[in-house]
């Protein structure tokens, strides 16, 4: 049984993620402080809201250093969701410039569709095109729809970090993978059966 720790820093859709993981048979612990991280072997970093508030809360609650040690030094698998993906980047330009966790070499930038009739934020279902060799998209159709809610996305400086993309007036990074770090801009917990498959694959993933 996997012990999955969901990081609670005050800005995540924790209940939906927890219910989805419980449905898949995972043992889940909501981690409200760094001391609760000791006995987990998977991490989920959710998030809804603004980048600046996210990194501020993570710092103030003391999560940044222990999470960095677990992820970057110890190789604990982590899944970032939406804002939880963006905060893994080097910096963000949402509401000014903010330093991120720096686990992914990329910048968080605003969606600027070439088609000006497309509204921002990007809300709703969108086709996702993924790396066919990806273990996180295993046993899924070649093209899948997932649910998005965001105005910013991670522009990766290394194309090799991009695991999946979608199109919304331009190409948008839909998922990233680097060693033991996996993250999605879409919400797997809101994406019905395909989203559950993503979470199931994460639980089985051995990077």
Could you tell me which residues come within 8 angstroms of residue 190 by beta carbon, excluding any fewer than 6 positions away? Answer: 13, 16, 147
Active-site residue 189, yes or no?
Answer: yes
Given the residues 144, 156, 187, 200, the one annotated as active site = 187
Q: Which two tokens stand for residue 141?
A: 């159709």
Given the residues 94, 163, 189, 200, the one annotated as active site = 189
Closest alpha carbon to 134 in 174, 97, 107: 174
Per-residue pLDDT of the chain (207 residues; tens, 9 = 90+): 569 999 999 887 799 999 999 999 999 999 999 999 989 999 999 988 999 999 999 999 999 999 999 999 999 999 999 999 999 999 999 999 999 999 999 999 999 999 989 999 999 999 999 999 999 999 999 889 999 999 999 999 999 999 999 999 999 999 999 999 999 999 999 999 999 999 999 999 999
Given the residues 54, 82, 144, 156, the one annotated as active site = 82
Closest alpha carbon to 40 in 13, 10, 8: 8
pTM of the model: 0.96
Closest alpha carbon to 184 in 194, 198, 170: 198
The DSSP call for residue 64 is H
157 neighbors 176 (Cβ within 8 angstroms): no
Active-site residue 129, yes or no?
Answer: no
Domains and CATH numbers, the chain: 3-204 (3.40.50.880)
* Predicted pLDDT of residue 141: 94
Active-site residue 156, yes or no?
Answer: no
Q: 44 forms bridges with which residues in the sheet? A: 6, 79
């Amino acid at each position: 049984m996997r012990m999955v720790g969901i990081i609670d820093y005050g800005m995540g859709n924790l209940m939906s993620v927890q219910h989805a993981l419980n449905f898949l048979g995972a043992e889940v612990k909501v981690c409200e402080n760094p001391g609760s991280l000791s006995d987990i072997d998977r991490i989920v970093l959710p998030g809804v809201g603004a980048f600046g508030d996210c990194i501020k809360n993570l710092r103030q609650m003391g999560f940044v250093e222990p999470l960095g040690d677990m992820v970057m030094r110890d190789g604990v698998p982590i899944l970032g969701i939406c804002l939880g993906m963006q905060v893994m980047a080097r910096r963000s330009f949402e509401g000014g410039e903010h330093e991120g966790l720096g686990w992914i070499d990329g910048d968080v930038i605003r969606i600027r569709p070439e088609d000006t009739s497309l509204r921002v934020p990007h809300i709703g279902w969108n086709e996702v095109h993924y790396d066919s060799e990806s273990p996180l998209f295993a046993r899924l159709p070649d093209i899948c729809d997932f649910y998005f809610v965001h105005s910013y996305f991670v522009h990766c400086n290394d194309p090799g970090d991009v695991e999946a993309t979608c199109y919304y007036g331009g190409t948008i990074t839909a998922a990233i993978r680097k060693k033991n770090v996996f993250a999605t801009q879409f919400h797997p917990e809101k994406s019905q059966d395909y989203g559950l498959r993503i979470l199931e694959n994460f639980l089985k993933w051995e990077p």
